[in-house]
Amino acid sequence: MIKVSAPGKLMLFGEHAVVHGKPCIVTSVNHRMSVEVEKRDDNKIVLTAPDVGVENHEVMINDLKNEQHRKECKFVFMAVGNFFEKYNIKSGLNIKTKSDFSSKVGFGSSSAVTVSMIKALSELFGINMTDRNIFDLSYKTVLDIQGVGSGFDVAAATYGGILFFKKAGEVIRKINVKDLPLIVGYTGVKADTPTLVREINEKKMKYPELIGPVFDLSEKKVILANRALEEGNLETLGELMNFSHGLLNAVGVSSGELEKLIFASRNAESLGAKLSGAGGGDCMITLAKSDNQEDVKRAIEEVGGIIIPVKTNVEGVRIES
């Protein structure tokens, strides 16, 4: 029996633009997905995922990549299917997944479970995979299912830390950050990332002369944010968060719920605030001075936001036992 876990993520700067070749900055967070795997003597893959109501869901090896699986099982089965195909392995498996966080908050449960699964299989079958190999196979798995995505979430789950990232892992570089006291407010609304990414694709085709420069500005802001993170300059990071949110408003991905939480935090004199991720719901992030943290959290809660305590910059995928 092998147990592996991988962290969730939060996008700090550069969402959407990263899908179009610009860099982004993502942090891993201390809410993890874990996977337990053991071999079986037959040809069945049996999955239990209590957090999403899946109990002993069986599939035959040959159907791993073919069937229309339930949403909750898709990433696990596709990861196993891709791993078996790549390394020419066939074996029955018992798999159990467990999550520290709800799949609704936008912390990247799909990529974290995919990365955990690939790492666990490499251990179980004695295949020597580097982090890069794990990233590549996990990113392929996510694309096989979602069709779109930059892979930033897969990188956070694999490598951990706070990363400067470019699409498909063209650049994956750890940023040296001492401390990032991030406050996270959940809107209570689930965002539909692939739909929003497709909407922005269409908008970019319709208005290339508008969306192109917005993404160019996003790149410049990411470079400034990288420097501010290295210098521990929270004031600048806050201002860049506001700038970043303005750009995301320009492409139209914010929502009433997000705006409510973001303005509550700004009115409580946070250093800055923005949506995090695809938009349309999920979470907003904000920074506040140490003596103002509680006021900012309270202000977000007063308008209906749910504070999710997070630690940023945590370890990537790891073997638990």
- In whole angstroms, give the CA distance from residue 57 to residue 39: 16
Closest contact distance (angstroms) between CB of 151 and ligand MEV is 7
Closest contact distance (angstroms) between CB of 311 and ligand MEV is 19
> Cβ closer to ligand MEV: 18 or 183?
18
Q: Exposure pattern of 220-246 as b/e (b: 16+ CB <10 Å)? A: ebbebbbebbeeeebebbbbbbbbbbe
> Cβ closer to ligand MEV: 232 or 252?
252
Total residues contacting ligand MEV by CB under 6 A comes to 12
Task: Determine how β-strand 318-319 pairs with β-strand 2-13.
Answer: antiparallel
Closest CA to 3 of 145, 121, 176, 179: 121
| E strand intervals along the chain | 2-13, 24-40, 44-49, 54-60, 92-99, 162-166, 171-174, 182-186, 272-276, 283-287, 306-307, 318-319
| Contact characters 299-318, ligand MEV, x per CB under 6 A | --------------------
Please report, for residues 101, 200, 224, 261, 281, the alpha-carbon distance to residue 257 in angstroms, rounded to integers and kept in the order given.
21, 20, 28, 7, 7
Closest contact distance (angstroms) between CB of 111 and ligand MEV is 9
Contact partners, residue 84, CB within 8 Å, separation at least 6:
61, 64, 90, 91
Closest contact distance (angstroms) between CB of 276 and ligand MEV is 8
Interface with ligand MEV by CB under 6 A: which range of 93-101, 127-135, 148-156, 239-247?
Answer: 148-156
Task: Determine how β-strand 24-40 pairs with β-strand 92-99.
Answer: antiparallel
Interface with ligand MEV by CB under 6 A: which range of 125-133, 144-152, 204-212, 236-244?
Answer: 144-152
Q: Kindly state whether residue 219 participates in binding ligand MEV, applying the rule CB under 6 A.
A: no
Q: Kindly state whether residue 193 participates in binding ligand MEV, applying the rule CB under 6 A.
A: yes
Q: Kindly state whether residue 116 participates in binding ligand MEV, applying the rule CB under 6 A.
A: no
> Cβ closer to ligand MEV: 19 or 113?
19
Task: Kindly state the greatest CA–CA separation across the chain.
Answer: 61
Give 61's DSSP letter: G
> Cβ closer to ligand MEV: 124 or 214?
214
Closest contact distance (angstroms) between CB of 275 and ligand MEV is 10
Q: Are 300 and 309 in contact (CB under 8 A)?
A: no
> Cβ closer to ligand MEV: 12 or 237?
12
Euclidean distance between the first and the last CA atom of the chain, given in angstroms as a whole number: 8
> Cβ closer to ligand MEV: 8 or 268?
8
Residues 5-64 that bind ligand MEV (CB under 6 A): 11, 15-16, 18-19
Which amino acid, residue 258? L
> Cβ closer to ligand MEV: 117 or 168?
168
Closest contact distance (angstroms) between CB of 97 and ligand MEV is 21
Helix axes 131-146, 109-124, angle to 10 degrees: 130
Catalytic site positions = 153
Q: Are 186 and 141 in contact (CB under 8 A)?
A: no
| Chosen residue from 277, 280, 281, 305 binding ligand MEV by CB under 6 A | 277
Closest CA to 7 of 38, 27, 29: 29
Binding residues for ligand MEV, per CB under 6 A? 11, 15-16, 18-19, 149-150, 152, 193, 197, 277-278
